[in-house]
Amino acid sequence: MFNEVEGLLKRAETGEIDKNSLEQATQEHVQSVDDLTVAQHMQRAADNASQNGKPDLAKQISEMLQRDRSNPQALKQDIVQLVKDNPDVLKHFEGGFAKNILSRIGL
């Protein structure tokens, strides 16, 4: 799984996977996930980012979660924008989350 995420990141960085495709795949996935699960994924990503030496990213994710926990659609849009702007963030989500996005891109 890690290799798949790494491959996606490299392909996104080189422009082989454009940001619009990544945005669309992320949008499709998060819309298919129930609201509570989305919040749980965000919390785990924040925890993982913190544990992996990315305190600024952890703080950004935590702030999104706190701000939009009561507005699941806004939280989902935050995730889409976050992944589009920083595909590297996928490293901090649990494997299933990233894998579902990857499968929508066709990897």
pLDDT at 80: 95
For the chain, what is the HEC assignment? CHHHHHHHHHHHHHCCCCHHHHHHHHHHHHHHCCHHHHHHHHHHHHHHHHHCCCHHHHHHHHHHHHHHCCCHHHHHHHHHHHHHHCHHHHHHCCHHHHHHHHHHHCC
Gyration radius of the chain's alpha carbons: 13
Average pLDDT of the segment spanning 89-107? 81
Q: Looking at the predicted structure, is the pLDDT value of residue 56 above 80?
A: yes
- State yes or no: pLDDT of 42 exceeds 80: yes
Residue 7: per-residue pLDDT: 75
State the chain's mean pLDDT as an integer. Answer: 87
The whole-number pLDDT of residue 69 equals 84
Q: Residue 2 pLDDT more than 70?
A: no
**Range 24-56 burial, b when 16+ CB lie within 10 A, else e:** bbbbebbeebeeeebbebbeebbebbbeeebee
What are the residue boundaries of the structural domains of the chain, listed by start?
Answer: 2-105
Residue 13 confidence (pLDDT): 65
Look at residues 79, 90, 92, 82 and name the one whose alpha carbon lies nearest to residue 30.
79
Confidence at residue 77, expressed as pLDDT on a 0 to 100 scale: 95
pLDDT at 99: 81
